[in-house]
Amino acid sequence: MPRVRPEVHRAIPGTRGRPLPKHQFAASRMMVIVDVSGVHELPVVFCSCPGAETHDVQLLEMGFYPATAKRPKTAFTFRVLDDFLLTNKECKTAAMNYYNKLRRVTNDLFPHTVPDRYRDLLRVSRQWRNLKARKRYGVGFQGVGEPGPGSLAVICPSCPVPEVNMPAGWQNDPHPYKHMASVIFDGNFSAEHQRMKNPSDDVRFADGHAFMVTDGPYKEHLNTAVQFRQKLECHEHRAVLAAASEKAALEATGIGAAACSRHGFFIPHAVVDFQKGEQQKNIDYSMCQVALFFQRLMLLLALYDVWCHYVKHMPERFRDSPGLSWPEGMTIMGGIDQFHVHGHIAQCYPRYSPSFIPGAGVQDGDVLETLWINTNKMSDSTRGMSSAHRQESIDDIMDDSNWNKLVRIAPALARKWKKACEEIGPSRDALEHLTASSDPAQVQGWKALAETARQQRHKKIEVMDVYEIQSKKLPTKAEIQLQLTQAENTGADQLRGCAAWLAFGLKIEESSAMAAAFSLRPDMSALGVEWDAMDDIPESAGVERDSSSGTGSYASASMVPERFSIALPSNLGVAFCRAHDLMGLVEKERRLRVGQMNDALHSVRVAIGYKSFLYRHGVRQATSQRQKLRSFDDVHLADEGVLSWARIYTAARTALLNLYDRTHPEDLIALQAVEKRYQPLEKRDLRANTALIEQSTRGVRHLHLAWFWSMDVQGDSQNSGWMNESKQFSALT
C-alpha cells in the first residue's frame, strides 16, 4: 500500500496555517487518515506550544474527526463522513460495505493489507450524525437548550400549527374541519431487531430526540398499560393475530409509525417498537404522542387499518393507563384508510371510509405503505445493530424522507390543486344533474340525513349507515329450485318433479362445460392415452385418435360425452315447446337459468377477488424468483377458475335467450330486459385489476369495476327501491 510521507507539512494542526519555529513542534506521529480517496498512513505533527489545544481539537480544526479523544491514531475527514451518511441514506449501503470499498480504492490488489477501521467508522459516524442534527437544531447558540422529544426532526410545513401557518381567530371559524390535522397509523414487520447480548453496554446519543419514542417511558407504559380482550368482528383483523406471536430471538418484531396522511411526513416522537405484533398498547402510545404534538388543535383525524376494532375500548384504555394522556378540548375522528377499507366487512365502508368523513378530503390512501420502502431496505442492517444505533439509523432514514418531501412540497401541492380543479367541475355537474332529476323533497331528505350523520358520527357510528345501499341478494339457482318445488308440492303446478329434472339437466351441462375446458388444456392428453399405448390392450374400434396431434383429439366429435346435447327446452327451441304445450317447462327453465347465471357471476367475482389477492400477497411480495414463479402458478390456476365460470355464464345466457320468441311481443319485451340486465362478458371484465382494489394507486380513484360487480342488488327500482337508494348514495358521496 502506498504510504505518503511528505517532507514538509505546512498545514500544522493547532496553528491555523501560521508558520511556527521548529522547536515548538512535537515529534511526528503516524496516523491513519480515512478519506473518500482511500485510507492513508501519514505523519502528523501536532502543535506543542504553551496553551495549545489538545490533539483531538487540533484535528477537528483541520477538518479531521479523531477516532478517540486521547492520543488519536486514526482520523476521518469530514467529507468522508458526509459521503458515508449520504450514501447510507440514498443507496442504503452498510458501513462494512462502504469501508470495504475504501479499502479497494486504496489497494485493489491487496485490500486486506489496508488497515481495518470498520468499527471506528461505526462509532464515529454515529457521533457525526448526531452532531449534524444538533447543529441544524441550533444547539450551542444563545437561547437554544438541549433537544427534547422530537425536536431534532424535520416536520411537515403544511400541517396546521397555530401561530405558524394558521390565521388569527381560527378557533371561531364556522368550518372547523379546515383546521383539522389528518394522521395515519401503520405497522411494519420488516423492521425486526435482535436482542442484544450486553444491553448495559449500549450508549444512546439521541433517545427520543427525533422520530422513535423515548425508550424509558415507553417501556414503563408497556408494563402498566391496560388491555381488553375483544371478539373479532371483522376478518381484516386476522392480519393482527397472524403477527401476534412472540419471537424469542427478537427484541422487536417490527415498528409502528404515524405520518400526516395528506403530505406523507413522519410525525416526530411517534414511532414505537412492537413486541408481540401490532398490539393496541403500542398504537395507544403512538396515538398519545401524536395528540401531544397537535395538542393546540381542536380536531384530529386518525386513520388506522383496523380502526373498527381499535376504537371499541380506546377511551377506557386512555383513562386507565397511567402512561397515556389526551389533550383537553381535542376531538378525535377515526377512520380506515382507502388502502385497507375495501378489505373489511361491508358495514365498515360507510362507517369508516375517509370518503364519508367531513373534512377528510380526497387522500391518497395509506401513504405509509410507500414510506416503508426506504425503511425496509435498511432492515438487514438495523436488525443486528445495538438498540441505540438502530434507533438513530431509523431516525435518520425517516428524517431524510421528510427532508426530501419538504424540498418538493410546493410542486406536489400545486399538482394536487390542479388535479382537484380538473375534477371538481365534472363532479359538480353530476351532482346538479342528479338533484335536478330527483324529487326536491327527496333531495332535502338526503341533505338532512347527511347533516344528522355529520353531527352524531362521533357519538354513534351507526348513523353513517345512511351512506350504504341496503341491497338485496339475487336469488341463487338452489333458491329458485326450492320455490318451484314448493309450488309443485302445493298443487298449484301440475308438472311435479320438473324443477328437479331441469336443475339436474343444468348440472349436467355445467359438468360437460368443465370437462370440455379440461380436455382443451394443452398439457392434458386424451382419456386413456396411457392405456392405448400398451400392446396388450387394443385400440377401441369406434374411436380413431388423431396421431398427428399430441393432445389426443378424437376424429368423431359426436362421440365426445361433453359435446352431447340434452333434451332441455332451450335446446328443443321455444317454437317446438309452444307447439307441444311445454311452455310451463320453458318458464321454469327461464327462472333456473337466471339463478344459474347469478351463481356463475358470483363465482366469477370470487375467483377474480382471489386472483387479485394472489397478485397482491403472492406475486408482489415474493422475495425470490422461485417464490414468484410458484405464485404465478397459483394465479394461472385461479385464472382457469375464472374462465370456467365465465363459460358457464355464457352458455346459460345463450340458453336463456333461446327460450324467448323474438316474433312474440311479450317475449320480445322480456328478452330486451334480460339482455340489458345480463350483458355479455368481455375479456377485459375478467382481469384482476388490483389498481381498483388498492385505491391508493395514482389515477384510479374515478375508474369503475365491470358491470357485474353491482349485480348483487335487485334492479327493479319500482319493486325494491334500489334506484332511489342508488341516487341517495351518489348524492351523499
Domain spans, the chain: 22-137, 175-359, 419-459, 477-538+557-709
State the cell numbers at 664: 312474440
Report the DSSP pairing between strands 181-188 and 299-304: parallel
The answer to whether 279 and 244 have CB atoms below 8 angstroms apart is yes
39 phi/psi in degrees, rounded to 5: -105, 120
Rounded to whole angstroms, the Cα distance separating 102 from 341 reads 49
DSSP state of 385: S
First and final CA of the chain: distance in angstroms?
A: 72
Rounded to whole angstroms, the Cα distance separating 312 from 114 reads 61
In 3D space, the residue among 464, 502, 487 whose CA is nearest the CA of residue 732 turns out to be 464
- Express each pLDDT in 349-385 by its tens digit: 889 888 888 888 888 667 888 899 989 999 999 999 9
Letter for the amino acid at 497? G
Give the predicted TM-score (pTM) of the model. Answer: 0.69
State the cell numbers at 548: 398427428
Look at residue 208 and tell me whether its pLDDT is greater than 70.
yes
Confidence of residue 710 (pLDDT cuts 50, 70, 90): low
Instruction: Tell me the sheet residues that pair with 74.
Output: 32
In 3D space, the residue among 680, 682, 650 whose CA is nearest the CA of residue 509 turns out to be 650
Sign of CA dihedral 464, 468, 470, 475: negative
pLDDT > 90 in the chain, percent: 38
The answer to whether 255 and 273 have CB atoms below 8 angstroms apart is yes
DSSP state of 559: G
Higher pLDDT, 503 or 391: 391
Confidence of residue 112 (pLDDT cuts 50, 70, 90): very high
Report the DSSP pairing between strands 250-252 and 299-304: unpaired
Rounded to whole angstroms, the Cα distance separating 233 from 307 reads 12
A 10 A CB-CB count for 201 gives 8
- Express each pLDDT in 613-640 by its tens digit: 665 555 555 556 666 666 666 666 667 7
At which residue does the C-alpha cell 383483523 appear?
237
Report the DSSP pairing between strands 254-260 and 272-274: antiparallel
pLDDT of residue 722: 38
DSSP letters spanning 666-706: HHHHHHHHHHHHSPPPPGGGGS--HHHHSTTSTT-TT----
Go through the chain and tell me how many residues it has: 733
**∠ Cα 367 371 372 (to 5°):** 120
The answer to whether 117 and 99 have CB atoms below 8 angstroms apart is yes
pLDDT of residue 557: 46
Look at residue 141 and tell me whether its pLDDT is greater than 50.
yes
DSSP letters spanning 243-292: T-S--TTEEESEEEEEEETTT-PBPTT-BEEESSSS-HHHHHHHHHHHHH
CA 188 to chain centre: 11
pLDDT of residue 286: 97
In our burial notation (b when 16+ CB lie closer than 10 A, e otherwise), range 367-381 reads bbbebbebbeebbeb
The answer to whether 474 and 714 have CB atoms below 8 angstroms apart is yes
